[in-house]
Structure formats: structure tokens, C-alpha cells
Amino acid sequence: MRTLLLLLLAAAPAWAQIPDSAFLSSARADALTGLYLLADGRVMSVADLRDQVGGRPVLSVTEFASGRARALYPSDSVEFEAGNAWFRRDTIAYRVRFDETTRPARALAWTEGGRTIEGGRAPLVEREVTIQNGEIRLAGVLILPPGRGPHPALVYVQGSGPETRRIPRYVADYVAHHGVAVLVTDKRGTGGSTGTWNGLSHEAWASDVEAQLDFLRRQPEVDGSRLGLLGNSEGGYVVPMVAARRSDVRFLICRVCSAMPGPPVLLDAYTGILRQQGYPADEVALATGLLQRMMSYALDRTDYDSLVSYAERVRDRRWFSQFVRNQVPARDAGFWDNYRRMLDVDPREHYARLRIPVLVVLGERDDRILIERHRPVLDSLARSGVDLTLWVIPEASHGLMLGPGNSAGYPPGLHERLAGWIARAAGVGR
């Protein structure tokens, strides 16, 4: 049974051109990913999207100042090309050649508009780590700013699904470049971590985050009095929970996170996902009808026979496997207890207890975390005394990107603004 809190990335748009990985092995992708500084002052991240595109390595470049994001297409065994939009290659915007004489690569040459600019990897310190949480072993990386510590630090908490440390690295490296150390691990059951992510309760997830905070407090390079949390998407159910019960969390950032309980957010999220997948309104209504019945049974333990009967009527629909793999779990299956614990979490209760700086970043055109539903809740929390700042990013999607299919990249300056807020909240320079 697939957890219904797995808010999948929407299907790639029809025009998307996914790079061929014939010249890009997993080992080569690992060696090329990271934060780079160009001689003209630009800062950019090379990230591997394999967790999002079926497990094969695909590189994407984000330029932080301009927000431009481009997939990298291997043109041969040594050079990559970037197209005219994210995952579009109708014309060539620039070419990149990495110096691969070392692992990881330390330098690159960027050719655009007839001009070649040299660049090198940012001077961050990376340390592979293993963190024990009872029987669970979390594998990850601690990214430290250059220079002598101890540094303020934060734990990055991913969103839903089987996410490793790969996607968070593009933000984590940039935050470390601004003076704040970042710890990011593979979620349970992904990468080098044990356990399973599917069906992971928010309480168990929170215990993993607390183990990471405890780990940071023991590191000589980290200032344990200046710790924070950064949550993304579904991670937004976890980070306020942890912050509300820990006195050592001094600041909190939540990107595209819910301020409401699970049931209405799940309905909004799956409505948006199904629409993006091209389903007409009547099919979306049938699908969310199944979701509503499953949530109702998990919370109230009533109308099980009605749920099973409804599932039988719609099992031939193409969307059915997004909710039920084979059949509805048995009436007394442990799945329902775990599902109820997920649905019962109400972020408002935890936010209301916080007396630390909180930043929430939402996209104006997010079709999963609907701004018209969440803004009033967050505004109410701020009026009640929570030190909460809300940024609504104009025209931005759930990924905080712009354009159809996120093709236009990120809003210019978004990441600089975010990293600056984190640095100030963490007391960098004081």
C-alpha cells in the first residue's frame, strides 16, 4: 500500500526532453554535483535529479542570482549542453566542461555567448556522517562553511517520498556558503539509511530529526546554541513539532509547507496532482472521493464496507494505483493506525507554541498548498504573537519555480534572500 501522504512530483510536461544518460554514470554524476563559483561572481549548483526521474542520473544547474535553471545534456563524454528552458533543448544556451581529473571535480569551463568563463568548486567542507536513532541508522553529510568554527547549523528535513540527500544539497550548499552549517541525511529506507520511508509516521520522522539535532550538538565545529530547522513540503508537518518541544532550536524555516491538518491539504494536493496529470473534473472527483473515504475510515473507523465497495467500483481507473496498490487494507490492519497518526497532526498547535523567528515561504500558484487557505491561518498565528514572517512568491509553483512545467526556473534572487534570512537568524557575523 502506497502511503497517501506521498505527494508525488507532477508528471513531466509533454514537451519535456529528459537527458540521455549514456555518457553519465551514477559515479560520474556524484563527482560533478556541488556548488561552483564562476570568475564573474556567479554562484551555481549542479544537482543530480535521479530521485525524481526514475533512478537514472540527470544533472540540473541552478544559477542563484538569476534563478535560471537548466538540465545538462551530455553532448559527448566530456561536454554538456544546456537548453533554452528547464528540460528543453530546442536551442543551446551554454556549454559546460568539467575538469574531471579529480573526484570530485574541482573546476569547470562555462561557454556562453562566445565567451568562456572559468570556475571552481566552492570551498565548503563535507563530512560523511552516520547517526543512530535506536535501531535506525541515518546516513548523511554535514556541510560546513569555510573558516574556523564553531558555526551555527541547521537540519534540513525533506519532503514526501523516497528522498535522499541529493535534492536538498542545492539549497544546503548555498546556505553553508553563507556561513551556516547544514546536516542532511537520506530519509529512512533511502540511500545509506536503514528502515523504510513508506508509512513513516510524523512522530517517528520527528525522532529522526531530534537525533540529528543531538548529533549536531556533539560536533566541535558546530555552535550548539545556534541550531535551526529547515523543512520542505511534507517536512513542514515535522519541523514545527520538533521546534515546539526543543529549547535548542533557535530559528525555523518552512518552504511550501502546510499550516493546516492533513485531510484538507491532502485533498487539495491530490486535486492539483490529478489535474496536472490531465484527468478531467469527473475523474478527479471520483479519485478524491476514494481519498475522502479512506481518510474518514482512518480517523473514525466507520463505513469500512462502504469504502471497500467504492474502491471496487473505481479499481479500473488509471489513477487507482496512486491510492491503493492492490486492495484496500484489512479492516484491522496496522496501516490505519499509522495513517491516522499522520492525519491527526495539526501544525497550528505547534506554531502557536513557538517563540523563535519563523519564516514560511509559499508559492502564489502552488496547486497543493493553496495560498488562499493557508495565508489566513499564518496571518492569524502572527497576530497571536508568533514571530512569523510569510513570504508569498509571485507566480511560483509548489517547487517555487516559474512558468509552465517550471520551465522558467526560479524567481531571481529568491535563494539569496532565503540564505540571507537564515544567516541573520543564525547570527552569522555576530
Write down the residue that cell numbers 571552481 correspond to.
120
Q: Is residue 163 part of a domain?
A: yes
DSSP, residue by residue, 217-253? HT-TTEEEEEEEEEEEGGGGGTHHHHHHH-TTEEEEE
Residue 40 reports pLDDT greater than 70: yes
Q: Is residue 38 part of a domain?
A: yes
In this prediction, residue 13 carries a pLDDT of 52
For residue 39, give its domain range: 26-121
Residue 341 reports pLDDT greater than 90: no
For range 235-250, the mean pLDDT: 96
Q: Is residue 7 part of a domain?
A: no
Domain boundary among the residues 316, 343, 370 is at 343
394: CB partners within 8 A, 6+ apart: 364, 411
Supply the pTM of this predicted model. Answer: 0.90
CATH number of domain containing 368: 3.40.50.1820
- Is the domain of 251 the same as that of 361? yes
C-alpha cell at position 3: 502511503
265: CB partners within 8 A, 6+ apart: 258, 368, 369
> pLDDT tens digits for 202-223?
999 999 999 999 999 999 999 9
- Is the domain of 317 the same as that of 417? no
CATH number of domain containing 98: 2.40.128
Q: Is residue 268 part of a domain?
A: no
Which of 3-12, 200-209, 301-310 is predicted with the least confidence, judged by mean pLDDT?
3-12
